[in-house]
Amino acid sequence: MAKLNFGGIEENVITREEFPLTKAVEILKDETIAIIGYGVQGPGQSLNLKDNGFNVIVGQRKNSKSWDKAVNDGWVPGQTLFSIEEAAQKATIIQYLLSDAGQIAQWETIKKHLAPGKALYFSHGFGITYSDQTGIIPPEDVDVILVAPKGSGTSLRRLFVAGKGLNSSYAIHQDATGKAFDRVVALGIGVGSGYLFETDFKKEVFSDLTGERGILMGALAGLFEAQYEVLRKNGHSPSEAFNETVEELTQSLMPLVAENGMDWMYTNTSTTAQRGALDWRHKFKAASMPVFEELYERVSSGEEAKVVIAANQQNDYREKLEAELKELRESELWQAGQQVRKLRPENS
């Protein structure tokens, strides 16, 4: 196991070099892996596992859009594609990849097929961490493990097809068989992880919910909207405002950050940009720190989980969600984005 050192703080990581795919396939050669759910993570993880040589089946509700998508992706009804209950029954490893709401709804179906020695796999710590709200409490005689790719299932699949990997965290909540470590790492390599870093279910969900509501989605969307609206109020055109707010960030600057870090990106911009960015970063940190503190407290206390569960249980949840997304999609900011993206060189 390799170690990363951060100023004296060591972290365990597992790379493909020390745990190659051939070893992962050998460890799981007698296992049947059932992917339960074919929504966000299911397609990417199942297809990557299949292409890597593992014995994989998919469990999904029949006569649903996701069932049809699975068929279109090459899963064969009655051979590699089954109902949720039938797939869970056949599996020795159940990858529980339904949405958090879906996991709550299907838990009794899954639970009755958790025979001793099986493994229950998650890609999100929500159901286990907030078990007082979800009711998801596995029996003590099964392994409970987690591999959480740090990105969408779409990104996981695209990187895999390109011969790359997406970093993932891994965790062991329950080791009933003594094989949980080998199982979770083999699965992590199998689904296409670039490397695996160690966590636990609680830390995974706390960081994930904070990140989604924060810099990855919520904060980023809010900052985009604020800067765009200020520019527009001061007479800048939609094209100019969008390019300065979104296009330059996503197409020019963030690739530089990904390549070598924020400091390196700064060295590749003008001295005027450097000075202003270095000064104003402190103001933005001071303004946003209280919001992040409040956010983390709500995540760790379970309040955010309560909001999510209550919302997902409403009969008209999807209609309300679509209305919110429609408002976002039809805002001038993202309508401008549609037009600007068409003018990128690769689209012309």
Q: Say if residue 107 is in the same domain as residue 135.
A: yes
CB atoms within 10 A of CB 184: 25
Looking at the structure, tell me whether residues 94 and 223 fall in a common domain: no
Give yes or no: residues 107 and 220 share one domain. no
Q: What angle do CA 34, 110, 27 make, to 5 degrees?
A: 35
Binned at pLDDT 50, 70 and 90, residue 345 comes out as confident
| Same domain (yes/no): 109, 172 | yes
pTM: 0.91
Active site residues: 124
Q: Which pLDDT does position 348 carry in this prediction?
A: 62
Is position 136 within any domain? Answer: yes
- Who contacts 53 (Cβ-Cβ below 8 Å, separation ≥6)? 21, 25
Query: What domain range is 56 assigned to?
Result: 2-199
CA angle in degrees (0–180, nearest 5) for 246-218-245: 15
Nearest by Cα to 109 from 62, 59, 147, 64: 59
User: What SS3 class is residue 13?
Assistant: strand
Residue-wise pLDDT for 123-153, tens only, equals 999 999 999 999 999 999 999 999 999 988 9
What percent of the chain clears pLDDT 90, i.e. is strictly above it?
91
Q: What total number of domains does the chain contain? A: 2
Which CATH number covers residue 271?
1.10.1040.10
